[in-house]
Structure 1
């Protein structure tokens, strides 16, 4: 009994082709951890900036709706953000936060932005940095509008 003859038109992969594909997959998998390590700080900074901006927007709305002044304050060491004296948000490890207040509002208090019932605010910029990644949460003094700048 002999094996049937095979034609060259039958499809299949050679051992060499399979080994080349496995080698390429191995190279890609080896490169992923270093790419991931570079992206994580960027994602952390941007996510925290978004969280601060959302919190500031909520405080602005609360000031307008409840007709009382609300405030957000960065502690002097830059390790926490105080939300109207009711809640504290910890700054993620490795992120440095600095606060810049408009010169005309320095009397309000260090590192503090107040939101007024009129919709305005005392204004300021919270800058978040980690490695080479920087994001800013800017709060306009006139309109109280909150913007994330990347």
Structure 2
């Protein structure tokens, strides 16, 4: 005797459960990707602000400072809006002691030098500021 063609209720429930599990895994992956994207964007914005301060010092022919408030999680140049970084990212600044938590750029293109270390979990980014040339470079560190 032949069985009628079609699916049983059990088979349909199994398919629905598999689709729900796949959708949940995909949502988690997308959320993690968005967090990583925000963190990389924060690094790029910090590099841009440093380069902009250097350019401003050269154009105005006077020193320019970029201040960092590490506990407050923001940075900015005088007279410009503050920028912040995600709460998940920890920032450490190493620069000239007399500047406190700031990086100085000078009219000849040089700077106070130093580096920023941004950390989130096992991910790290390092932004280097050359003292002689004022060049700003960043890289992800292993």
- Place the TM-score, normalised by the shorter chain, in its bin: 0.7 to 0.9
Query: Which residue pairs with 2:85 in the alignment?
Result: 91
Q: Is residue 44 of structure 1 aligned with residue 56 of structure 2?
A: no
Q: 1:146 to 1:95 in 2, by over 3 A?
A: same
Q: 1:67 aligns with which of 39, 49, 61?
A: 61
Aligned partner of residue 87 in structure 1, secondary structure: coil
Structure-2 separation of matches of 1:82 and 1:31: 39
Larger Rg: 1
The number of residue pairs the alignment matches comes to 132
Cα RMSD for the two superposed structures: 2.5
Query: Which residue pairs with 2:107 in the alignment?
Result: 117
Please give the per-residue CA displacement for 1:55-114, whole angstroms capped at 9, x wherever unaligned.
Answer: 11111111111101001121141511132353321222222211112xxx322x212110
Q: Give the structure-1-normalised TM-score.
A: 0.73
Structure-1 separation of matches of 2:57 and 2:119: 29
Q: Is residue 140 of structure 1 aligned with residue 130 of structure 2?
A: yes
Structure-2 separation of matches of 1:15 and 1:83: 69
Query: Which residue pairs with 1:54 in the alignment?
Result: 48
Deviation at 1:25, TM superposition (A): 5.3
Deviation at 1:118, TM superposition (A): 0.4
Query: Which residue pairs with 1:106 in the alignment?
Result: 97
Structure 1: where are the runs of 5+ without partners? 1-13
